[in-house]
Structure 1
């Protein structure tokens, strides 16, 4: 399965999700770092500005990453609902993992 992931290396949840997806043999990951260049940031912001799924995220002051797009076009914040992720040391908890601007640890 091909998965496109929008995230950043300064977000713990993104780093962990990328690590877990990279370890999945059944997943072809296309990682897009939103802090790597403005073109990728604009691409992400277009989704954030237009997709209804981001309404609650924005109201709560969160960013909306990690954000995933599946090969069939479906969009989600919870990749573990679609991919069986390997357990890694530190057992990352997946539950609407979207980083907060003003509340570190509220991802």
Structure 2
């Protein structure tokens, strides 16, 4: 299964999701770092500005990452609904304050 993921290395949920997806042999992950270059950021913002899936995210002041697009075009913020992710006990607290204005780590 091919999955496109929009995220950022300063987002704890993105770091965890990317690591988990890369560990799965049956997943072909295309990772797009939204803070890596302006072209990728514009691509992500086009989804964020125009797709209704983002309305609740925008209303709550969040960014909307990690954001996933499945090979069939379905979009989600929770890849765990579609893929059995490996469990891990890694502490990602150190990343949490980098992700959000309120320091709660909710992107």
> Using a 3 Å threshold, how does the CA distance of structure 1 residues 91 and 84 change in structure 2: closer, same or farther?
farther
Paired residues of 1:2 and 1:29 also in contact (CA < 8 A) = yes
Q: How many residues align?
A: 101
Runs of 4 or more consecutive aligned structure 1 residues displaced over 4 Å after TM superposition: none
Deviations 1:67-107 (A, max 9, x none): 00000000000000000101122388xxxxxx964222242
Structure 1 residues without counterparts, runs of 5 or longer: 93-98
Bigger RCO (CA 8 Å, 6+ sep)? 2
Structure-1-length-normalised TM-score: 0.88
d(CA) in 2 for partners of 1:100 and 1:15? Answer: 11
Structure 2 residues without counterparts, runs of 5 or longer: 93-97
Matched residue, 1:104: 103
Matched residue, 2:48: 48
> Using a 3 Å threshold, how does the CA distance of structure 1 residues 14 and 23 change in structure 2: closer, same or farther?
same
d(CA) in 2 for partners of 1:43 and 1:11? Answer: 18
d(CA) in 2 for partners of 1:26 and 1:105? Answer: 32
